[in-house]
């Protein structure tokens, strides 16, 4: 955890808003955030423009242990403190670079006075703009099985389908045991294709890639319906906020 000194307050005279990123969950997907945000800024503003960003990157093993031992209050306190420090350092919005830890979004929001750009809202808005209503959701077991994420999507009038128990276990295992370690394996891609096909057969008219690492494994060519990459959507939304 870094220690904030008021003398270290960072001011960027770029005409853009500074974004505070809470990353490292995992660093594989956080690297994608950095790339995608800056590509969006470059494409919209041209020349050599890139985004003013402040990044705190966690040791993900610590976070995983908190998740799997139910130490959510401890994780919430840590994330909220990081968000406060990013705000103090000059961030004008907070982006949490993970789907699962949005379980603790209320605690983060309550600790800062700047906007929190919620990945579920950004994704749902993009889906609704395309006219879809019934979505298939892939993610960690926490994202697929708990209410914090699904209810956020339902608040946008979306009907959410998740895979059955065995398939959820496979999807979750591949995220933690492979993708978070940078391992992209063909058998796992095949399994994800099977799971997505089953969601489509059950009535899903699009698929949410609801874990920021999933985009490393599958994309538009791996299913017969449109996919929504939460990493890209969240990063683009953050970049657009920075540009204003």
Q: State the DSSP H helix or E strand holding residue 22, giving kind and residue range, or none if neither.
A: strand 19-23
55 token code pair:
């990044």
Please tell me which residue in 18, 30, 97, 98 is annotated as part of the active site: 98
pLDDT in tens, the chain (244 residues): 333 343 444 444 568 999 999 999 999 999 999 999 999 999 999 999 999 999 999 999 999 999 999 999 999 999 999 999 999 999 999 999 999 999 999 999 999 999 999 999 999 999 999 999 999 999 999 999 999 999 999 999 999 999 999 999 999 999 999 999 999 999 999 999 999 999 999 999 999 999 999 999 999 999 999 999 999 999 999 999 999 9
Q: Over the stretch 182-240, which tens digit does the pLDDT of each residue have?
A: 999 999 999 999 999 999 999 999 999 999 999 999 999 999 999 999 999 999 999 99
Question: Which domains does the chain carry?
Answer: 6-118+233-243 (3.40.50.1860), 120-229 (3.40.50.1860)
Query: Which is nearest to 55 in space by CA: 84, 83, 20?
Result: 20
Is 14 marked active-site?
A: no
For residues 23 and 34, give the distance between their C-alpha atoms in angstroms, rounded to a whole number: 10
pTM as predicted: 0.91
Is 215 marked active-site?
A: no
Q: What pLDDT, on the 0 to 100 scale, is given for residue 13?
A: 56
CB within 8 A of 172, min separation 6: which ones?
140, 141, 144
Q: What pLDDT, on the 0 to 100 scale, is given for residue 53?
A: 98
Q: What pLDDT, on the 0 to 100 scale, is given for residue 82?
A: 98
Q: What pLDDT, on the 0 to 100 scale, is given for residue 10?
A: 46
Q: How far apart are the first and last CA of the chain?
A: 30
Q: What pLDDT, on the 0 to 100 scale, is given for residue 138?
A: 98
Please tell me which residue in 211, 223, 227, 231 is annotated as part of the active site: 211
Q: What pLDDT, on the 0 to 100 scale, is given for residue 3?
A: 37
SS3 116: strand
Q: Over the stretch 72-84, which tens digit does the pLDDT of each residue have?
A: 999 999 999 999 9
Q: What pLDDT, on the 0 to 100 scale, is given for residue 125?
A: 98
For residues 205 and 196, give the distance between their C-alpha atoms in angstroms, rounded to a whole number: 11
For residues 82 and 226, give the distance between their C-alpha atoms in angstroms, rounded to a whole number: 35
């Amino acid at each position: 955890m870094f220690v904030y000194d008021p003398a270290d307050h960072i001011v960027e005279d770029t005409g853009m808003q500074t974004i505070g990123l809470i990353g490292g969950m995992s660093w594989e997907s956080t690297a994608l955030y950095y790339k995608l945000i800056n590509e969006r800024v470059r494409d919209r503003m041209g020349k050599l423009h890139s985004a003013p960003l402040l990044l705190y990157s966690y040791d993900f093993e610590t976070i995983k242990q908190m998740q799997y031992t139910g130490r959510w209050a401890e994780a919430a306190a840590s994330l909220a403190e990081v968000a406060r420090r990013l705000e103090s350092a000059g961030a004008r919005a907070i982006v949490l670079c993970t789907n699962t830890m949005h379980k603790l979004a209320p605690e983060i929001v309550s600790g800062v006075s700047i906007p929190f750009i919620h990945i579920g809202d950004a994704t749902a808005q993009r889906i609704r703009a395309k006219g879809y209503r019934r979505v298939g959701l892939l993610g960690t077991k926490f994202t697929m099985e708990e209410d914090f994420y699904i209810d956020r999507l339902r608040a946008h009038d979306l009907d959410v389908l998740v895979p059955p128990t065995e398939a959820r276990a496979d999807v979750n295992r591949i995220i933690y045991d492979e993708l978070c370690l940078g391992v992209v394996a063909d058998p796992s891609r095949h399994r994800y294709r099977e799971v997505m096909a089953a969601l489509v057969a059950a009535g899903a008219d699009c698929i949410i890639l609801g874990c920021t690492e999933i985009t490393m494994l599958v994309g538009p060519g791996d299913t017969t319906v449109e996919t929504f990459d939460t990493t890209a959507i969240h990063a683009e939304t953050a970049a657009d906020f920075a540009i204003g």
